[in-house]
Chains A and B, each alone.
Chain A
Amino acid sequence: MSIENNQLLRISTAGSVDDGKSTLIGRLLYDSKSIFEDQLEAIETTTKRKGREGIDLALFTDGLRDEREQGITIDVAYRYFTTPKRKFIIADTPGHIQYTRNMVTGASTANVAIILVDARNGVIEQTRRHSYIASLLQIPHVIVCVNKMDLVDWKEDRFLDIQQQYEGILSKMSIKDVRYIPISALEGDNVVNRSENMSWYQGAPLLHTLETLHISSDLNKIDARFPVQTIIRPQTDEFHDYRGYAGRLESGILRKGDEVVALPSGFNSRIKSIDTFDGTLEEAFAPMSITITLEDDIDISRGDMIVRKNNQPNQVQEFDAMICWLNSSAARPRGKYTIRHTTNEQKSMIRDVVYKMDINSLERNSEDTEIKTNDICRIKLKTTKPLMIDEYRDNRATGSFILIDDGTNETVAAGMIIS
Chain B
Amino acid sequence: MSKYYLNYLEELESEAIFVLREVAAQFRNPVILFSGGKDSIVVTHLARKAFYPAKFPFALMHVDTGHNFPETMEYRDQLIQDLGANLIVGSVQEAIDKGRVVEEKGRNASRNVLQITALLDTIESNQIDCAIGGGRRDEEKARAKERFFSHRDDFGQWDPKNQRPELWNLFNGKHFQGEHFRVFPISNWTEMDVWNYILKENIAIPSLYFAHEREVIWRNNSWIPVSEHLNMDERDSPVTKKIRFRTLGDITITGGIESEADTLEKIVEEVAAMRQTERGNRADDKRSESSMEDRKREGYF
Task: List the interface of chain A (C-beta within 8 A of B).
Answer: 1, 3-8, 36-39, 42, 46, 62-66, 68, 74-80, 82, 86-87, 89, 101-102, 104-105, 108-109, 215-216, 219, 221, 229-230, 232-236, 238-239, 242, 244, 246-248, 253, 275-278, 285, 287-289, 291, 302, 326, 338, 340, 343, 396-397, 400-402, 404, 409-411, 414
Contact = CB atoms under 8 A, between A and B. Distances in A.
B6 A291 contact: no
A277 B48 contact: yes
A64 B280 CA distance: 19
B22 interface: yes
Contact of B14 (A105, A234, A248, A326): A248
A80 B138 contact: yes
Contact of A79 (B5, B144, B164): B144
Given A63-B142, A246-B51, A287-B6, A8 B12 contact: yes
| Listed residue (A3, A42, A414) with the most chain B CB atoms within 10 angstroms of its CB | A3
Among B25, B165, B188, B193: residue with most chain A CB under 10 A: B165
B176 A36 contact: no
B21 A246 contact: yes
Interface string B1-31: 0011111111111110110011011000000
A8 B11 contact: yes
Contact of B7 (A3, A38, A234, A242): A3
Interface of B: 3-15, 17-18, 21-22, 24-25, 48-55, 137-138, 141-142, 144-145, 160-161, 163-170, 172, 174-176, 187-188, 190, 192-193, 196, 272, 274-277, 280, 289-290, 293
Contacts of A291: 52
Contacts of A64: 141-142, 145, 160-161, 290, 293
Given A87-B193, A277-B52, A37 B275 contact: yes
Given A221-B4, A287-B11, A78 B188 contact: yes
A310 to B, nearest CB: 20
A262 to B, nearest CB: 17
25 contacts: A4-B7, A6-B8, A7-B5, A7-B6, A46-B289, A64-B293, A74-B161, A75-B160, A75-B161, A78-B137, A80-B188, A109-B169, A221-B4, A232-B52, A239-B54, A246-B50, A248-B169, A285-B4, A288-B6, A289-B14, A340-B172, A396-B168, A409-B175, A410-B172, A411-B167
